[in-house]
């Protein structure tokens, strides 16, 4: 996958989440060392603080955060709608109160595009209305119809030819609505297509069923992005169903809670079993955490509430995800992905609670 600025992104790819123009606890150089080729930043948060116009005045988001590779910005829809009682939705847009100071704001599809273009994003997302799980059929249809309406307005509002615009399909866990939404969004015509409104409370198997329903109606020659997913198992299963791009806070959030992904299963570094363990976290991992520090030291840092624990844990988890994506790409190129997927999903060690 190539951006308009000439950057190559090897897919399938996982995008670390840099909500407020930073991947929590890591420097951009750390993220690069981990192997990431693209990151995600959050439109809603950057619009509220420090403001998209300020970032534009300072040279754009890449310069602002010292990240020279591609950036995808989500539209902010998920964050806005998660405010629940602070939100009023109409076909015109969404009125909401800031979670920071209670100030009132009104975001339209046009403004969502304007914000992302001001930030200088390489990939911008259409403003959409994600539905939670479970949702009744009437609301799912209204949200899906409004998403289509807003997608048309986003496409008409886009001005920057150097940014790709992705449409977002909705429909919740209703197969018929998923099909309808995909057909409508594809008929508008976008540079890539995302599956939204999944991984919001439904089971992993139901989520993958909806991916399977949706992907058959998406163009094979355009990137397919499954938003907000997920666990390593979710990613491996979704790649097997044709997905190219992923993002999720799981590797960073879990790291800050002491939950670490390794080639030998998941590790809870808080467990007392690691107190005297001089071995590396993952002997197969080349990251700074695994090559420089023991499990005993990592546990000590975490139990002592030392900030270094958060950085080392996060660096490892991001590296794990990037190495997983590299392995996925390798298996696809060899034509052995089906057997790899079976082994990963059915025969991998589960690790600690």
Q: What is the pLDDT of residues 311-350, one digit of tens each?
A: 999 999 999 999 999 999 999 999 999 999 999 999 888 8
Q: Is 204 buried (19+), middle (13-18) or exposed (0-12) by CB count in 10 A?
A: middle
CB atoms within 10 A of CB 203: 10
Q: What is the mean pLDDT of the chain?
A: 96
Residue 112 pLDDT = 96
Residue 320 pLDDT = 98
Q: What is the pLDDT of residues 277-288, one digit of tens each?
A: 999 999 999 999
Residue 77 pLDDT = 77
Evaluate if pTM is beyond 0.85. Answer: yes
Mean of pLDDT values over 157-164: 97
Mean of pLDDT values over 251-267: 97
Q: What is the pLDDT of residues 217-237, one digit of tens each?
A: 999 999 999 999 999 999 999
Residue 268 has pLDDT above 90, yes or no: yes
The dihedral through the CA atoms of 162, 34, 313, 284 has a sign that is: positive
H/E run at residue 14: strand 13-15
Residue 197 has pLDDT above 90, yes or no: yes
Active-site residue, from 30, 74, 128, 244:
74
Residue 70 pLDDT = 98
Mean of pLDDT values over 23-30: 98
Distance of alpha carbon 198 from alpha carbon 211, whole angstroms: 9
Q: What is the pLDDT of residues 31-88, one digit of tens each?
A: 999 999 999 999 999 999 999 999 999 999 999 999 999 999 998 877 877 777 778 9
Mean of pLDDT values over 166-182: 98
Residue 191 annotated among the catalytic residues of the structure: no
| Domain range summary for the chain, segments of one domain joined by + | 13-247, 254-346
Residue 247 annotated among the catalytic residues of the structure: yes
Active-site residue, from 122, 128, 247, 282:
247
Instruction: Report whether CATH 3.20.20.105 matches the domain 13-247.
Output: yes
Residue 200 pLDDT = 93
CB atoms within 10 A of CB 342: 12
Distance of alpha carbon 170 from alpha carbon 137, whole angstroms: 12
Residue 257 pLDDT = 98
| Alpha carbon 243 to chain centroid, angstroms | 13
Q: For residues 55 and 64, is the Cβ–Cβ distance under 8 A?
A: yes
Q: What is the pLDDT of residues 105-141, one digit of tens each?
A: 999 999 999 999 999 999 999 999 999 899 999 999 9
Residue 22 confidence class, pLDDT cut points 50, 70, 90: very high
């Amino acid at each position: 996958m190539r951006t308009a600025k000439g950057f190559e992104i090897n897919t399938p790819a996982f995008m670390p989440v840099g909500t407020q123009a930073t991947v929590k606890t890591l420097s951009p150089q750390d993220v690069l060392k981990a192997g990431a080729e693209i990151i995600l930043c959050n439109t809603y948060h950057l619009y509220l603080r420090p403001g998209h116009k300020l970032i534009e005045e300072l040279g754009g988001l890449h310069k602002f955060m010292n990240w020279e590779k591609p950036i995808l910005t989500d539209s902010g829809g998920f964050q806005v709608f998660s405010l629940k009682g602070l939100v009023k939705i109409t076909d015109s847009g969404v009125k909401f109160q800031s979670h920071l100071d209670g100030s009132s704001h009104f975001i339209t599809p046009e403004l969502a595009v304007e914000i992302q273009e001001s930030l200088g994003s390489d990939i911008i997302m259409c403003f959409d209305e994600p539905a939670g799980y479970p949702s009744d059929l009437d609301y799912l249809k209204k949200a899906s119809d409004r998403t289509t309406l807003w997608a048309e307005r986003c496409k008409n509002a886009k001005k920057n030819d150097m940014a790709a615009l992705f449409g977002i399909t909705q429909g919740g866990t209703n197969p018929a609505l998923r099909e309808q939404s995909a057909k409508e969004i594809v008929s508008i015509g976008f540079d890539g297509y995302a599956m939204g409104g999944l991984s919001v409370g439904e089971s992993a198997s139901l989520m993958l069923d909806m991916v399977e329903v949706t992907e058959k109606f998406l163009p094979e020659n355009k990137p397919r992005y499954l938003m907000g997913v997920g666990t390593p198992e979710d990613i491996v299963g979704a790649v097997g169903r044709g997905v190219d791009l992923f993002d999720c806070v799981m590797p960073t959030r879990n790291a800050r809670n002491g939950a670490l992904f390794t080639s030998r299963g998941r590790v809870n570094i808080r467990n007392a079993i690691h107190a005297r363990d001089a071995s590396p976290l993952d002997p197969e991992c080349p990251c700074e955490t695994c090559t420089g520090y023991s499990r005993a030291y990592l546990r000590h840092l975490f139990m002592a509430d030392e900030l270094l624990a958060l950085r080392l844990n996060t660096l490892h988890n991001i590296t794990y995800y990037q190495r997983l994506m590299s392995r996925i790409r390798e298996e696809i190129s060899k034509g052995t992905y089906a057997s790899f997927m079976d082994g990963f999903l059915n025969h991998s060690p589960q690790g600690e609670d």
